[in-house]
């Protein structure tokens, strides 16, 4: 038995089993949110609807959807085979996540040795940032897999595989470029002109494969620029990046400072070990520095690009985080760290993982919600003449996913505003019921079930202290019967 457990392949299999079990936690009970519901609903419509939803152009010349279609196509095929239950659709992300761990293992083994590779695989298996998106029904885990595969192909000089993986990454998410660009600069920094020539040819081949989609990039950039919720990021993103890379966010206020201290201490210690390795010219120290470069250059590049056009979304940094896991594994195992300090470092990583994982499993606040339970509760109590109105699309779409037959509507975002991200084209494809305002939504209603996030009310109050206008209208024209609280969601029941 001891010999069996000492086998490298056995250890890798055990790590993959651990990762699988961890990612199964809460797979059905964890609430979905707007983006996940959108992924399922658009993918269910079929291939032509996916293409129409991603290629159509709105009246302002911006794309109806800001993401390429590769993930939606894959999810469509998966749903056709296994159904659209939360268990089924999240299982796709989990399996892709296990593929990422395998890629991380192979990259680390190529750069260092089997022991470091196993450590990197273990770290990626337990860190909450990888777990979170290893469950989520979005394209970021698939993006990470393609970019990790492209990195492995780059290291092994397998240029055909590199071209294909890089093209597929671009077809999965437009922000693949923020990782591929720093990766492409590697031969220049290393003054490896032979590799640069091969990489250039492989890059051109990748661009040719991606060229059918390139003509749609301006419209998708316009979508993000003109109608997107992302604000211009500031220097604070450097601190949130540290938290995301280790315990992940969100965290309760009482844990923010301790978590930031632990994460900062861990990363500082790894950086110091990298510096010592470079000073002592240790074997493979250059590889360790290259991992630092790929871990932190894409976030900085995205931060700089977002000063021109805000597009800073932390989940697009998942590929860099995969490389970060390899860097930690090398810094704390091969950079000549004293044994007690090594134990301390891995304890810090483990504490970060426990804090973040617990928060990930238990968090049910904004933008999540108990949409299935709310639907069933309203359905059992609704009467003829009742209408169900959602304050906006964030609560409507997940509710619509759970029960597409239930008659409910939502108030569209103010046209041209930063939150106006669900185009009329997409609404038609998904067969959504949208209203221009609360007046039209509640017209001729005997009773109104009004669903709104507490966050939506708090944001308005923090700006001007006024009552939410939709609630103000309902207060003027209906009588409030009761208010129900479902974590961060409020259900207001009004009678005429």
Q: What is the pLDDT of residues 259-297, one digit of tens each?
A: 999 999 999 999 999 998 888 877 688 999 999 999 999
pLDDT computed for residue 309 by the predictor = 82
Q: Considering the domain boundaries, does residue 48 fall inside one?
A: no
C-alpha 43/C-alpha 395 separation (Å) is 19
Q: Considering the domain boundaries, does residue 436 fall inside one?
A: yes
Q: Is the domain of 324 the same as that of 403?
A: no
Q: Considering the domain boundaries, does residue 49 fall inside one?
A: no
Q: Is the domain of 451 the same as that of 484?
A: yes
Binned at pLDDT 50, 70 and 90, residue 164 comes out as very high
Q: Is the domain of 298 the same as that of 398?
A: no
Residue 236 burial by Cβ neighbours in a 10 Å radius (0-12, 13-18, 19+): exposed
The percent helix, strand, coil of the chain (3-state, each to 5) is 65, 5, 25
Q: Considering the domain boundaries, does residue 77 fall inside one?
A: no
Count of CB atoms situated within 10 Å of the CB of 265: 14
Mean pLDDT (the chain, rounded): 90
pLDDT computed for residue 417 by the predictor = 66
Q: Is the domain of 166 the same as that of 315?
A: yes
Range of the domain at 116: 2-30+85-362
Residues pairing with 494 in the sheet: 448, 480
Q: How many helices (H) and strands (E) does the chain have?
A: 25, 6
Report whether pLDDT(5) > 90.
no
Q: Is the separation of the CB atoms in 393 and 453 below 8 Å?
A: no
Looking at 328, 343, 362, the residue that finishes a domain is 362
Q: For 99-112, what is the mean pLDDT? A: 97
Q: Is the domain of 357 the same as that of 393?
A: no
Q: For 170-184, what is the mean pLDDT? A: 95
Dihedral sign for Cα 281, 282, 284, 290, please.
negative
Q: For 9-36, what is the mean pLDDT? A: 93
Query: pTM of the predicted model, to two decimals?
Result: 0.94
Q: Considering the domain boundaries, does residue 383 fall inside one?
A: yes
Report whether pLDDT(38) > 80.
yes
Q: Is the domain of 429 the same as that of 384?
A: yes
pLDDT computed for residue 423 by the predictor = 81
Q: Is the domain of 375 the same as that of 285?
A: no
Q: Considering the domain boundaries, does residue 432 fall inside one?
A: yes
Report whether pLDDT(465) > 80.
no
Count of CB atoms situated within 10 Å of the CB of 255: 16
Q: CA-based Rg of the chain, rounded to a whole angstrom?
A: 24
Q: Which of 269, 244, 245, 292 is nearest to 111 (CA)?
A: 292
Q: Is the domain of 193 the same as that of 124?
A: yes
C-alpha 451/C-alpha 396 separation (Å) is 9
C-alpha 118/C-alpha 96 separation (Å) is 18
- Is the previous residue joined to 367 through a cis bond, with omega within 30 degrees of 0? yes
Looking at 362, 389, 420, the residue that finishes a domain is 362
pLDDT computed for residue 40 by the predictor = 96
Q: Is the domain of 354 the same as that of 432?
A: no
Count of CB atoms situated within 10 Å of the CB of 401: 23
Q: Considering the domain boundaries, does residue 41 fall inside one?
A: no
The residue length of the chain stands at: 496
């Amino acid at each position: 038995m001891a010999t069996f457990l000492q086998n490298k392949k056995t250890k890798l299999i055990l790590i993959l089993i651990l990762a699988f079990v961890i990612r199964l936690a809460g797979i059905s009970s964890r609430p979905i949110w707007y983006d996940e519901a959108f992924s399922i609903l658009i993918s269910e419509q079929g291939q032509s609807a996916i293409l129409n939803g991603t290629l159509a152009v709105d009246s302002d010349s911006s794309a109806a959807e800001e993401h390429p279609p590769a993930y939606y196509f894959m999810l469509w095929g998966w749903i056709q085979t296994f159904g659209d239950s939360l268990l089924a659709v999240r299982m796709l992300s989990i399996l892709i996540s296990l593929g990422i761990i395998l890629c991380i293992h192979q990259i680390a083994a190529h750069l260092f040795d089997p022991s470091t590779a196993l450590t990197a695989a273990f770290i990626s298996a337990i860190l909450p940032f990888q777990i979170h998106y290893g469950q989520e029904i979005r394209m970021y885990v698939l993006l990470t897999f393609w970019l990790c595969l492209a990195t492995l192909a780059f290291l092994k000089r397998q240029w055909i595989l590199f071209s294909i993986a890089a093209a597929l990454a671009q077809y999965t998410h437009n922000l693949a470029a923020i990782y591929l660009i720093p990766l492409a600069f590697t031969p220049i920094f290393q003054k490896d002109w032979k590799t640069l020539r091969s990489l250039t040819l492989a890059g051109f081949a990748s661009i040719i494969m991606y060229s059918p989609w390139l003509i749609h990039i301006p419209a998708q950039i316009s979508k993000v620029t003109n109608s997107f919720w992302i604000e211009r990021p500031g220097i604070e993103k450097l601190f949130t990046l540290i938290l995301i890379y280790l315990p992940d966010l969100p965290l309760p206020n009482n844990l923010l400072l301790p978590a930031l201290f632990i994460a900062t201490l861990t990363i500082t210690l790894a950086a110091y070990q990298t510096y010592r390795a470079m000073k002592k010219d240790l074997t493979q120290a250059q590889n360790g520095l290259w991992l630092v470069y790929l871990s932190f250059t894409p976030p900085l590049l995205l931060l700089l690009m977002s000063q021109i056009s805000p597009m800073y979304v932390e989940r697009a940094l998942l590929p860099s985080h995969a490389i970060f896991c390899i860097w930690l594994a090398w810094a704390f195992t091969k950079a000549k760290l004293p044994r007690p300090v090594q134990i301390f470092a891995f304890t810090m990583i483990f504490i970060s993982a426990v804090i973040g994982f617990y928060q990930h499993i238990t968090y049910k606040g904004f933008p999540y919600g108990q949409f299935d339970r709310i639907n069933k509760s309203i359905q059992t109590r609704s009467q003829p003449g009742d209408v169900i109105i959602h304050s906006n699309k964030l609560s409507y779409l997940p509710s619509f996913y759970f029960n597409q037959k239930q008659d409910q509507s939502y108030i569209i975002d103010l046209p041209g505003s930063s939150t106006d991200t669900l185009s009329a084209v997409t609404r038609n494809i998904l067969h959504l019921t949208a209203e221009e305002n609360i007046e039209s939504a509640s017209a001729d209603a005997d009773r109104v079930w009004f669903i709104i996030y507490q966050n939506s009310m708090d944001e308005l109050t923090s700006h001007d202290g006024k009552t939410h206008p939709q609630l103000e209208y309902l207060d003027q024209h209906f009588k409030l019967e009761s208010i129900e609280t479902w974590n961060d969601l409020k259900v207001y029941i009004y009678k005429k």
